[in-house]
Amino acid sequence: MDLIRIKNVEKKYRNGVTAIYDLNLAIKKGSFVFVIGGSGSGKSTLIKMLYREEKPTKGQIIVGGLDVAKLRNKKVYKLRRKLGIVFQDYRLLPKLTVYENVAFAMEVIGAKKDITRIKVLKALEEVGLKNKVHNYPDQLSGGEQQRVAIARAIVNDPKLLLCDEPTGNLDPERSMEIMKVLEDINKSRGTTIIMATHDKDIVNKMKKQVITLKDGHLVNFKQKGTYDNEAV
Amino acid sequence: MKLFRMLGRSIRDSFKSVIRNFSLSLASISCITITLIIVAIAIMASFNVQNFTKEIEKDLTIVVFLDTDATEEDIEEVKSALDKTSNIDKYDFQSKQEVKEQMQKESEVFNTVLEGWNEDESPLKDTFQVKVKNVEKIARTADNIKKIDKVSVVRYGEGMVDKLISAFSSVEKVTYGVVIALVIVTVFLIINTIKLTISARKREISIMRLVGASNFTIKTPFIIEGMILGLLGSVIPVIFTTYGYLAFYKHFDGYLFSELIQLIKPEPFIYSTSIIVIIIGILVGMVGSASAVRKYLKI
């Protein structure tokens, strides 16, 4: 079954730049997809449209049954509760502990305290940070901070996890740790993962599906793809 | 249950934020305090003015004197003419004899003087005491009565009373103007305070958005913060209203200048005024923060 369906999507920014031209895609539930391409290829725009940070100028985007392009500003939270998002810059709250940062995602949607506690601890265990629950973000390494962000993204059991260059600030070793965590989440939870990246090594090692974008056009969509220099 | 949990969180956040931005919160609170003190004075003044006006109007009577030679039939005719005149609520007739008896009762001197006169040479006149429905039209009604046959003089409390009422009402209008201006200034100050809290929490808000908090959840703490500022700002005005009016009432023994101008009794007047002041404070805070949220929280 398709979790995401993108039909004839075009995105033109107000400054006149077209980031995506006539994109058609279908992504199956449970898949792990890399979105690759150079800067300006439109991969960030694609991710942003999936969580409705940006609206497509034309076309239709369906995520888990929700018509994202038609979603009104007031209803965006309905989409966001179905997905988790991880960014390059972690976006943690510096004044909250690791536990509180993850629990924040549960609290603001009105979850009960005891359920929050169980889910937060489970998510932190999955990313391997159970022993750092009471630390503050600035006491953690970059890789650990990113793992907190991943825990926060999965704590609500989303169907979809969007990652926008999650390893962009990390050295290769830490990057592979993050990829291990993501792969585990994909396998054990069945969460669909879409990850934008320009890290060649990661893509080549992981052997997952690869969407290649160039200047806003879809170049190809391969099963077990690699980072193909000529295509990019 | 869920709603209560969310509200609890909102209230906690709002208090935190009031304390975190203490200096600006204090500025807003003092501005609300000053505004509300003036609002309280305006409310108490205008209720009292309304009270005086009502009391004075209740006593306002047109006295109609008939010609000395008016006969029984003439009196009947005047009565029916009065029935036809508009704006008359009710009237009482007092014959010469009744007037005489009343005057005799009132004073010894009158008693002896009036004793000497018999029915025919009495200088007294038959009178009607007329109450009107609408006091503002009293002058025209008096004129209409004057035109009736056999009516010699028409009197009502012209002059002093009118001037007093119009002076009161212009005082009232000026106070309202000042109050409105102050309320607007206060609303702007609150908008600025809330704007600061919003910008201090921009990161938090964007993360809330990302993890699926509804707009309602994001906005509520700011609106509650505005209401808290309003509530804190109304504390001093309420104390001022309660004790200030009590002291004022005591000092003047319940009336101003003359017995004619009665002050409203402090209880329950001070309580209702306090409640109005608190409600205005909370509303001002809410309106200010709601418009700040709309302007600066583009979500």
CB contact under 8 A, A112 and B5: yes
* Highest mean pLDDT: which range of A177-191, B205-219, B263-277: A177-191
Q: Are A78 and A164 in the same domain?
A: yes
For residue B147, name the pLDDT band (cuts at 50, 70, 90).
Answer: confident
Shortest distance between the Cα of B194 and any Cα of chain A, in A, equals 20
Q: Where are the domains of chain B?
A: 2-56+162-296, 61-156
Nearest to B183 by CA among B70, B40, B14: B40
ipTM of predicted complex: 0.87
Percent of chain A with pLDDT over 70: 98
The answer on pLDDT for B267 being more than 70 is yes
CB contact under 8 A, A156 and B212: yes
Q: Specify the higher pLDDT residue, A140 or B62.
A: A140
At residue A20, what is the residue type? I
Alpha-carbon torsion, ordered B258, B262, B266, B272, to 10 deg: -140
Nearest to B21 by CA among B219, B195, B182: B195
- On average, the pLDDT of chain B sits at 81
How many CB atoms sit inside 10 A of residue B222's CB? 26
Picking from B204, B207, B213, the nearest residue to A109 by CB comes out as B213
Shortest distance between the Cα of B188 and any Cα of chain A, in A, equals 26
Q: Are A13 and A58 in the same domain?
A: yes
* Highest mean pLDDT: which range of A36-45, B38-47, B167-176: A36-45
Average confidence (pLDDT) over B108-118: 72
Q: Are A64 and A9 in the same domain?
A: yes
Average confidence (pLDDT) over B239-259: 84
- On average, the pLDDT of chain A sits at 92
How many Cα atoms occupy the beta-carbon half-sphere of A147 within 13 Å?
26
Q: Are A148 and A223 in the same domain?
A: no
Shortest distance between the Cα of B1 and any Cα of chain A, in A, equals 9
Structure tokens at A47: 């991710």
For residue A29, name the pLDDT band (cuts at 50, 70, 90).
Answer: very high
Q: At what angle do helices B22-59 and B215-233 cross, to 10 degrees?
A: 60
Query: What is the model's pLDDT at position B243?
Result: 92
Nearest to A148 by CA among A187, A104, A199: A104
How many Cα atoms occupy the beta-carbon half-sphere of B96 within 13 Å?
18
Q: Are A55 and A125 in the same domain?
A: no
Of 3.40.50.10890, 3.40.50.300, 3.30.70.3040, 3.40.640.10, the CATH number of B61-156 is 3.30.70.3040
Average confidence (pLDDT) over A185-200: 94
Q: Are A196 and A216 in the same domain?
A: yes
Domain that holds residue A116: 89-157
Q: Specify the higher pLDDT residue, B80 or A158.
A: A158
Shortest distance between the Cα of A217 and any Cα of chain B, in A, equals 27
The DSSP annotation for B220-272 comes to HHHHHHHHHHHHHHTHHHHHHHHHHHHHHHHHTTTEETTTTEEPPPHHHHHHH
The answer on pLDDT for B135 being more than 90 is no
Query: What is the model's pLDDT at position B91?
Result: 82
Query: What is the model's pLDDT at position B121?
Result: 64
Nearest to A123 by CA among A102, A101, A94: A102
* B151-155 sheet: strands from edge to edge: B88-94, B127-132, B62-66, B151-155
Domain count, chain A: 2
Is there a contact between A11 and A45 (Cβ–Cβ < 8 Å)? yes
CB contact under 8 A, B212 and A93: no
For residue B88, name the pLDDT band (cuts at 50, 70, 90).
Answer: confident
Q: Are A142 and A49 in the same domain?
A: no
Residue appearing with tokens 């500025």: B27
Please list every residue in chain B whose beta carbon sits closer than 8 Å to the beta carbon of residue A104. 207-208, 211
For residue A164, name the pLDDT band (cuts at 50, 70, 90).
Answer: very high
- For B10, the closest chain A residue by CA position comes to A108
| Element (DSSP H or E) covering residue B210 | helix B202-210
Q: Specify the higher pLDDT residue, B150 or A103.
A: A103
Whole-prediction pTM value? 0.71
CB contact under 8 A, B212 and A105: yes
Domain end: A157, A172, A192, which one?
A: A157
Q: Are A102 and A2 in the same domain?
A: no
Least confident of A62-71, B106-115, B279-288: B106-115
Q: Are A141 and A108 in the same domain?
A: yes
The answer on pLDDT for A219 being more than 70 is yes
Mutant choice from A50, A78, A86, A109 vs B, greatest count of B C-beta within 10 A: A109
